[in-house]
Structure 1
Amino acid sequence: MDSRTFLICLIFIEISTCKIVLPMINDFVEHYNKTQIVLGFVCRKNDALELVKHFSKKLHQVKAVSVDTRELPYPIPPTYVTFVLDGQCSGAKHLLLRADAERLFATPFKWIVSYDYSYDVADLIENFTELNLLVDSDVTVAIMENRETFSLQKIYKRHVNGSMLVENIGNWTKRHGFVDNGYEKIIYKRRRDLKKTILNSCIVITNNDSLNHLTDKRDIHIDSIAKVNYVLVEHLSDTVNAVLNYSVRGTWGYKNNESKWSGMIGELTRNEADIGGTALFLTSDRIEIIDYIAMTTPTRSKFIFRQPKLSYVANVFTLPFDGLVWASTCALLLIMAMVLYVVVKWEWKKKKYVEIANESNDIEIPNSWVEVTFTTVAVLCQQGSSSIPFSIPGRITLIFLLVSLMFLYTSYSANIVALLQSSSNSIQTLQDILHSRLDVGVDNTVFNHFYFPNATEPVRRALYLQKVAPPGQKPKFYSIDEGIRRMREGLFAFHVETGPGYKFVSETFQEHEKCGLQEIQFLQVPDPWLAIQKNSSYKKMLKVGLRLLQEIGIQGREVGLIYTKKPQCLSRGSSFISVGLVDCYPAAVVLAGGLGAAVMVLLLEIYVNHRLKYYSRKWRRNKRIRQ
């Protein structure tokens, strides 16, 4: 079946009028040019034959159902469905009430209700007063003026308790067919002027003082999302010419143990509010009970932290060179040490046969591999050498070793300085935060108190239990200013709404401190959306109104006035960062290891010396005894 199926449900009581009613209905339906199926509700069995005979000539399917049927069929799919009813049928009013209870007057259904010339519009409106024919309904009343003419009016209400309104759309004559008066075919365009109809809106305020600053842009970091959406909803009410009656709640709404919703969602589900005046997260359990109409606030809550210094997560003293350079350097040292040892050994061997004068008065390198090793290490650390070879080949070897290691040392030192000033980008996921040295805090808001304890995903659950609320400790929920202060001190990740969070960052951080800010999202939800009642009759016009606010720039302007974007890094590398003990930790470990090894060797030497003296005395004493 085509997705543009147009279904017609016809209900007749007097088949004698079919010769005029059926052509009128046929012309009116063909005006939409989408008919494929006819489902007729008839009062008598004899009417079904005439119904099928007339409409089966052009339409694909025809089906007749008794008007007294216990269950009204709900067409699937419901798109382009039209019900046609003879209003003079004795069961017509009861049928309309049943249809209203099953929401068959809401979009996308269409209705045509026909009456003969004994009725006028004012009298007929009373038959529809009890029905919820709201702004999205499409109900056409066709009144027979004579045997060849029908006048056509559409009726609706602007609100449930409002009065019935009439729109004259044209007439039908047997000679000219359907003739409209040029009315706007799109319903929401024709009815978007609500004429100051009062709509109820619920807003969420977590700080009572925010009620005094909803529009003056003061304390924009408090209830930011409420302030942005309050102004947008006010603009939205202007586009539809409605008046808003506000109620205030302290929470967006969550399901309690009795499966009842609290807060703003509770008002929407109980039909106490028409519009949710504060955007909220789009979650699977909420989609079933409310309708989301537009994303008004492009902001999210994330962990924000300063990227830790590279020395906090890695040994910067091994990073200047990659593995191949380190291997080449070690090979160079080994080769040069072996060459130097061979040259020194050759020098001392030559001295036995040739007397060589030391004209420089420098200390010669002793003929020992230990001395050669110490000389090589001293050159590597740019400490020079207290002794040098006295032969020309030996000095050439030592000069080559000094020059080559000088270039390596210069490159190494330059890289070390840069690395000590660098930050690390190793923390990219929630799991990285969980296993890092970062402390964690969360903004003290209603939704954070709900989503963090109820997290079920393993990493998020572990992050909450181990870092946010460790056993035996107070949960780490902080105010924004306290959390941003801790974040500035470093090694602290703060979960906060990005707009208010970056406002404090811009005001309190120095320029170089704004560099290296990192974001990681915790909540698995998209940007907040504005919501209304489920199946609200205002849904279409409100969606179009919000899209209009977005297209003409009002939404972007209001969001920009409240929400602060991530600060740009404009002074990277222009400031000096002091080197702390943590940065020098690997060097301190090497120093401590060397001192420990030296002390152990000293103790070993003392022990060995004492043992040697002991055995020497014992040997001499035994020798005297034997003598």
Structure 2
Amino acid sequence: MDNCSTFQTFGNTEMFISDVECARNIIFWSDSCNFFARPFRWLFLYNQTSILDRDVHASFLNISILIDSHVITASLQENRTFVLKRIFKFRKETELIEKHIGSWDPLRRLKINSSDLENGYNMRNFQRTVLKTCLVITQNDSLYHLTDKRDKHIDSIAKVNYVIIQHLKDFVNAELIYKVTSTWGYKNNDSKWSGMIGELTERRADIGGTALFITVDRIAIIDYIAMTTKTRSKFVFREPKLSYVTNVFVLPFDWDVWISILGLLIIAGLVLLAIVKWEWKRNKYITMNEIEVHMELRDSVADVIFLTFGALCQQATSVVPYSMPGRITTIFLFISLMFLYTSYSANIVALLQSSSKSIQTLDDLLKSRLEVGVDDTVFNHFYFPNATEPVRKAIYEKKVAPPGQIPKYFPILEGVKKMREGLFAFHMETGPGYKLVAELFDEGEKCGLQEIQYLQVPDPWLAIQKNSSFKEALKIGLFLIRESGLQVREIDAIYTKKPVCSNRGNSFISVGIVDCYAPTAVLLGGILLSLLLFIIEHNINYISRKRGRNMA
């Protein structure tokens, strides 16, 4: 500083005080150092009798005193009163604008006009200044439906933010010129940014008209001013049937009950075997006719096992014990297992109609047998192949783009249709996706929808040029738009919430081959075992007969 200027600190406020008449070099130097931007404040003093206002304006002709600057001129009048004005420009090349904010005199000291101060500092009037805005549109037809709410599932985020930007334009009294690009912007091989971010970094756009995700590499080159669209991109899928992820035929009873049933069979079998052996010891006191009529169950372990197993499977038996204790034991065994069988069957029916909640995390999804698809959008094509976290990377490499196969990117309509068929997890924006779900799914099919977050990013925010002079004014405007409820209204008009399950009990799930896998495996195993035993018995019989003929 020279003897024409001074620097003062008031709390957290840093202020420069200078005389206009002898501070022209300081003005140019401060502009080159960006000292007219926030958070610095300037007070320029001059005598109205010795220097005219037009000369003051000439001093700031090519200086960047933009709308986020706090530069005040104090002109000394003949009556020893200072007139305070705030000066600023909307752009460096535009003319200087003055806003009267008050006065100071030795008697009444400082007098501030609050309405002028508000208009001068909050800058709610851009005076129809043109703001260059960049929109991200992935489908060209969306340009004709930005406000009519048609095809809300296509370019939803662009349509919401377009309307919010229109409200912002009206709020600050600005004009907008739009440029359209097909991508948000990613680094090229030469380290340059494409799409909307490229427009902002190259200063061909003042503000991004479509919200985008906050990432580490973007924070250094653009500023974020407000979260305008609360949206989520998630894996959405219908809960798979319980039989698809586990064997439902072992679920009706706890393991304690299964052990108790096994104990019941063993005890009943041993008691029955003891009674049958006792009966056969008594047969010497019974005539042969009585034995042929009554004594049909042999005292062998195999016969008792088959009778007990038949009772477990609720099959009738052609042989019964002869004595009253044996018959009581048999009846007790059949009745006990009948009640267990009834309870078991009722539970099986309920379990076959049940869905599983076992898939709760990305790791569960990776290990499951669900197929995976991804919405065919620009940011999904970027984030999925570039995932570095092990589970997310494995999901892409094993399920989305397995080696030797075409990557599973689908249009959102096709992906939702595949999701309706079941056993398919589709990564999509939930707002547009749920609109199609509400239209395509039956009421019962809307129940059991599950979500899993994949992208590790917060909600999208609107972006602006780095260190833009419009940042604070637009941030305040967007805050007031959100506070007034306009933002929520526009979001609700475009985005559809998750459908409510209203009649889960009325839905019916058909039983497929997967549900019957366990009993089918048992049946096939029994058939194969019986064929094996048949072949073994046939060979043994054949060998025995052949030996008999040779000995003869």
TM-score bracket for the superposition, by shorter chain length:
over 0.9
1:387 match: secondary structure: coil
- Unmatched segments (≥5 aa) in structure 2: none
- Unmatched segments (≥5 aa) in structure 1: 1-9, 15-21, 37-78, 622-627
Residues 336 and 84 of structure 1, relative CA distance in 2, 3 Å threshold: same
Verify: 1:309 aligned to 2:284, yes or no: no
AA at the equivalent of 1:104: F
CA distance in 2, matches of 1:335, 1:561: 69
Residue 35 of structure 1 is aligned with which of 7, 10, 18?
A: 10
Cα RMSD after superposing both structures: 2.3
> Which deviates more, 401-410 or 165-174?
165-174
Verify: 1:587 aligned to 2:519, yes or no: yes
**What does residue 222 of structure 2 align with?**
290
AA at the equivalent of 1:337: G
Q: Counterparts of 1:237-256 in structure 2 under 5 Å?
A: 237-256=169-188
CA distance in 2, matches of 1:279, 1:305: 26
User: Deviations for 1:434-486, whole angstroms, at most 9, x for unmatched residues?
Assistant: 22222221111111111112112222222212222222222211111111121
1:481 match: secondary structure: helix
Say whether the 8 Å CA contact 2:445–2:507 is kept in structure 1.
no
**What does residue 371 of structure 2 align with?**
439
**What does residue 14 of structure 2 align with?**
81
Shift of 1:530: 1.1
Residue 396 of structure 1 is aligned with which of 328, 349, 364?
A: 328
Residue 99 of structure 1 is aligned with which of 30, 37, 40?
A: 30
AA at the equivalent of 1:528: P
> Which deviates more, 320-329 or 187-196?
187-196
Residues 182 and 483 of structure 1, relative CA distance in 2, 3 Å threshold: closer
Shift of 1:576: 2.1
Residues 581 and 11 of structure 1, relative CA distance in 2, 3 Å threshold: same
Verify: 1:414 aligned to 2:349, yes or no: no
Say whether the 8 Å CA contact 1:364–1:388 is kept in structure 2.
yes
**What does residue 40 of structure 1 align with?**
none
**What does residue 309 of structure 2 align with?**
377
1:88 match: secondary structure: helix
1:548 match: secondary structure: helix
CA distance in 2, matches of 1:404, 1:455: 58
**What does residue 393 of structure 2 align with?**
461
Shift of 1:361: 6.3
2:506 match: secondary structure: coil
**What does residue 533 of structure 1 align with?**
465
1:352 match: secondary structure: helix
Shift of 1:189: 5.7
Say whether the 8 Å CA contact 1:362–1:387 is kept in structure 2.
no
2:82 match: secondary structure: strand
Residue 330 of structure 1 is aligned with which of 252, 257, 262?
A: 262
CA distance in 1, matches of 2:543, 2:274: 37
Residues 284 and 393 of structure 1, relative CA distance in 2, 3 Å threshold: same
1:162 match: secondary structure: coil
CA distance in 2, matches of 1:358, 1:112: 128
CA distance in 1, matches of 2:469, 2:194: 23
CA distance in 1, matches of 2:29, 2:265: 96
Say whether the 8 Å CA contact 1:188–1:540 is kept in structure 2.
no
2:235 match: secondary structure: strand
Shift of 1:217: 0.7
CA distance in 1, matches of 2:120, 2:372: 49
Larger Rg: 1
User: Deviations for 1:327-363, whole angstroms, at most 9, x for unmatched residues?
Assistant: 1111111111111111222222223335699799677
AA at the equivalent of 1:35: F
2:10 match: secondary structure: coil
AA at the equivalent of 2:4: I
**What does residue 12 of structure 1 align with?**
3
Q: Counterparts of 1:11-410 in structure 2 under 5 Å?
A: 11-13=2-4, 35-36=10-11, 79-89=12-22, 92-116=23-47, 117-146=49-78, 148-183=80-115, 185=117, 190-353=122-285, 364-410=296-342
AA at the equivalent of 1:81: E
Say whether the 8 Å CA contact 2:62–2:93 is kept in structure 1.
no
CA distance in 2, matches of 1:181, 1:228: 39
Shift of 1:129: 2.0
2:21 match: secondary structure: coil
CA distance in 1, matches of 2:429, 2:320: 67
User: Deviations for 1:192-238, whole angstroms, at most 9, x for unmatched residues?
Assistant: 12222211111101111111110011111111110011001101111
Shift of 1:11: 4.8
**What does residue 429 of structure 1 align with?**
361
Residues 166 and 322 of structure 1, relative CA distance in 2, 3 Å threshold: same
% identity of equivalent residues: 56
